[in-house]
A and B are shown apart, each in its own frame.
Chain A
Amino acid sequence: MTELHRKYRGWVPVIVILAILCIIPFHMRAYHVEIAIIYFMSVILAASYRLVTTTGDWGFAHIIMQGVGAYATALLAKHAGIPFIVMVPLAGFVTALVGAIIMVPMLRTKGFAFFIASFAFGEFIRMLWMKVKHPFGGTGGITGIPSPELFGLKLASSVNYYFASMAVMVIAVFIIWRLDRSRIGNAWKAIHTDDSLAECMGINVARYRTLAFVIGSFFAGTAGALLAYRMGSVDPHNFEITQMIYLVIWVVIGGAATFWGPLIGVTLLTVAFEWSRSMLEWRPMLFGGLLILSLIFMPGGIESLLPGLRRPPGEHYARFRKWLTTVKPG
């Protein structure tokens, strides 16, 4: 009994949180429900971005990948009448494919160069959307995405869409959590720690880096589908650098060493984002400042303040690694 107790003790807070999430939409104003819907997408983005960074590849294209999923949804749902339940994973697969393609040149890069290469390719894709009117709609984007339905239930209402996106979020987070704890996840962490060693121990580093990027992109794409359906449209301006910077802020401030860090980060910062609505013009400075202070005084992120955070056996509390050469400044 105690063995079982210990093993499943960690599930209790998760179940409690899920239960709360199931109850609250009925007691919130519609405006807050909409914010929660966006929050669920942000959770998917944070968890999937962290998945990519597990190998040490800090890229700058994740929001664009969300955009790829959004555009795929806009085009396929609108012109091919694909239903919601198929479209969400389908958007993921399309995005995964795009991720696999751009990863080919990006594999040649590591660390800083990877960051820039991913930034550049992301911008390339965004410019493609803005430039090409057919089919991407140019700077105006695409409108008129059909309202989603799930098993006959119309998802147009806030509460219905809340539950639909929550379901997608739970599935996504679960899968990402399973992958993180698996041998594949350990291979990614090994690559992050010492990629030449990992390679010599039989881990094909190129293949695993690609796998992480592709899977991360898959989930970013599903978040894109959720966004496209909710907005009923896609606009290239939704996927700009600013959005990517906020994603980085969530993950870094939360802490990327464990699976839960980014989730803590995105939750706290979404709340902070809403609270600071009155100071809209100062908000980027507030968040930028928080990022700087966090990196100087708390480089491990908020999760580093919570030693009780359960980690799989054998995994020590990790620190950010140097990307580049062994040369240290200062």
Chain B
Amino acid sequence: MDSATLIQTLLNSVVTASIYALVAVGLAMAFGVMKMANFAHGEFFMVGSYTVYVLYQLGGFNFWVAVALSMPIVALLGVATERLIFRPTGKNILAGFMATVGLGFVLQVAVGRIWGVGMMKRIDTPYMGAAEIGDAFVGWQRLIVIPCAIAMLIALRYFLYNMKLGKALRACAQEPEAAALMGINIRTMTMLAMALAGASAGLAGALMAPIHAVTPYMGHGIVLIAFVVVIVGGTASIGGAVLAAVILGFIHTFVTTLTDSLVGTMVGVGFMAITLVIRPQGLLGREKP
């Protein structure tokens, strides 16, 4: 690999890792609090992309406004999911999860009917051109993902560790019974977790909209990656999700550059298999006795 390709691949890896991190962190958080996951998480990502398509491409809004709006919109979707699906199924975690599998279908059809299926949506790239680093060229549109993702992750960390509500959320994830005894409302925390999961997935989708193909089915590829990252990181560990996102992001991008994205995903799955055999609780997950 020559130096230009190497630099390009390294930078693209960081972009990929950023997206993976955004998508996985929300999932890990929701999982930590509710002990259940949302299979429609890929569709959350998709709705984030569509927000940019609808507002920016169709509606002429400023790109950044569209991206910013994707967060509350998908956060709202997350809250709706919590209220309409997770709350009625209550303690039956399996039922709740299976219901989100159905939710995925519902969202795909809804989006497809409103804005059409078939041809992927083209979104004009707001940031044309590429940065020149040495001999390498990396599109600006890709590069701006990195600071956005990092900003979101830092904000999230600050929220979880320095703000009262965030600390309550963490307490809920680690010791729900103790948290309840201290007066923390688990229902509110669950909604909050789903809101944050939605916001981060939505942001990821929004940022990727100009880069990726926008179709109602784009969630399928994302959901697999998101869950693999969470498993490798350790199902309820947010730090683990970020670490796994970096490792898997780099693996995927390098392998894709050398062969293609199918093989890239396959190697990622292979890495997960190895992790499961060597360290089944995940990189930063809690150990079983």
Asked if A and B touch directly (CB within 8 angstroms), the answer is yes
Q: Please indicate the chain B residues that have their CB under 8 angstroms from the CB of A108 in the complex.
A: 276-277, 280
CB-CB under 8 A from A252, the residues of chain B are 98
Q: With A and B bound together, what is the CA distance between A106 and B280 in angstroms?
A: 9
Give every chain A residue within 8 A of B109 (Cβ-Cβ): 281-285, 288
Taken together as a complex, chains A and B put the C-alpha atoms of A106 and B190 apart, in Å, by 29
* CB proximity of A285 to chain B, nearest CB, Å: 4
Task: List CB contacts (< 8 Å) of B81-118 with chain A.
Answer: 85-99, 101-106, 108-110, 112-113, 117
Q: Determine whether A63 belongs to the interface, using a CB cutoff of 8 Å to chain B.
A: no
Q: With A109-B280, A285-B109 as given contacts, are A117 and B220 in contact (CB-CB < 8 Å)?
A: no
Q: Is there an interface contact between B95 and A330, defined as CB atoms closer than 8 Å? A: no
User: Could you say which of B31-39, B123-131, B141-149, B205-213 contacts chain A?
Assistant: B31-39
Q: A131-B266, A291-B99 are in contact. Are A296 and B88 (CB under 8 A)?
A: yes
CB contacts (< 8 Å) of A117 on chain B: these are 231, 272-273, 276
A116 within 8 A of B: yes
B113 CB contact (under 8 Å) in A104, A282, A288: A282
- Check A105–B273 contact: CB distance below 8 A: yes
Query: Does B150 interact with chain A (Cβ within 8 Å)?
Result: no
- Could you say which interface size class chain A belongs to? 35 or more
Interface of A is mostly: helix
B94, A245: Cβ atoms closer than 8 Å: no
The smallest C-beta distance from A300 to any residue of chain B, in angstroms, reads 10
With known contacts A127-B265, A128-B266, A281-B112, A296–B106 Cβ distance under 8 A = no
A287 to B35, CA, bound (A): 26
B273 touching A299 by the CB < 8 A rule? no
In the bound complex, CA of A322 to CA of B157 (Å): 30
Contact (Cβ within 8 A) B102 A289: yes
Out of A289, A290, A299, A329, which one reaches B35, CB within 8 Å?
A329
Whether A330 lies near B37 (C-beta < 8 A) is no
**Interchain CA distance A322-B90 in the complex, whole Å:** 11
Chain A CB within 8 A of B284 CB: no
Report the separation of the CA atoms of residues A58 and B37 in the bound assembly, to the nearest whole angstrom: 14
A295: interface (CB < 8 Å): yes
Interface members, chain B 149-194 (any A CB < 8 Å): 176-177, 186-187, 190
B60, CB-defined interface residue at 8 Å: no
B227 adjacent to A119 (CB under 8 Å): yes
Q: Is the CB of A291 within 8 A of B102?
A: yes
Residues of B within 8 A of A106 (CB): 276
Which residue of B is nearest A282, CB measured?
B109
The listed residue (B106, B112, B187, B220) touching A292 by CB distance below 8 A is B106
Question: Given A285-B105, A329-B34, do A112 and B269 touch, yes or no (CB 8 Å)?
Answer: no
Determine whether the beta carbon of A322 is less than 8 Å from that of B272. Answer: no
On whether the beta carbons of A248 and B101 are closer than 8 Å, the reply is: yes
**Complexed CA–CA distance, A116 and B101 (Å):** 13
Whether A112 pairs with B220 at a CB distance below 8 angstroms is no
Q: Mark A90-123, 1 if CB is under 8 A from B, else 0.
A: 0000000000000011101101110111011101
Whether B176 and A109, one on each chain, are in contact in the complex, defined by CB atoms closer than 8 angstroms, is no
B97 with A112: CB separation less than 8 A? yes
B104 shortest CB reach to chain A, Å? 7
Asked whether any CB of chain A lies closer than 8 Å to the CB of B120, the reply is no
A121, A131, A322, A329 interface centre (most CB from chain B within 10 Å): A329
The reply to whether the CB of A325 lies closer than 8 angstroms to some CB of chain B is: yes
A248 and B98 contact, CB distance less than 8 A: yes
Cross-interface CB contact of B262 among A115, A131, A320, cutoff 8 Å: A131
Given contacts A124-B269, A322-B94, contact A245 B89 (CB under 8 A): no
Q: Which residue of A lies closest to B272 (CB)?
A: A120
Task: Output the nearest chain A residue to B279 by Cβ-Cβ distance.
Answer: A108
* Given A127-B266, A281-B112, A329-B86, CB of A295 within 8 Å of CB of B105: no
- Give 1 or 0 for each of A308-330: 1 = CB within 8 Å of chain B CB: 00000000000111111101111
Least CB distance, A320 to chain B, in whole angstroms: 5
Q: Which B residues touch A328, using CB under 8 A? A: 90-91, 176
Which residues of chain A have C-beta atoms less than 8 A from B66's C-beta? none
Closest to A285 in B: B109
Known interface pairs A113-B231, A282-B109; 7 further A-B residue pairs with C-beta atoms within 8 A, sorted by A's residue number: A113-B235, A120-B228, A121-B269, A290-B102, A292-B85, A295-B102, A320-B94
The 14 listed contacts between A and B (C-beta, < 8 Å) are A112-B97, A116-B227, A119-B227, A127-B262, A245-B104, A283-B109, A285-B106, A285-B108, A287-B105, A292-B102, A295-B99, A327-B35, A328-B176, A329-B33
Q: Can you list the 4 inter-chain pairs with the closest CB atoms, starting with the nearest?
A: A288-B105, A291-B102, A285-B109, A108-B280
**Which residues of A are at the interface with B, using a C-beta cutoff of 8 A?**
58, 104-106, 108-109, 111-113, 115-117, 119-121, 123-124, 127-128, 130-131, 240-241, 245, 248-249, 252, 281-285, 287-292, 295-296, 299, 319-325, 327-330
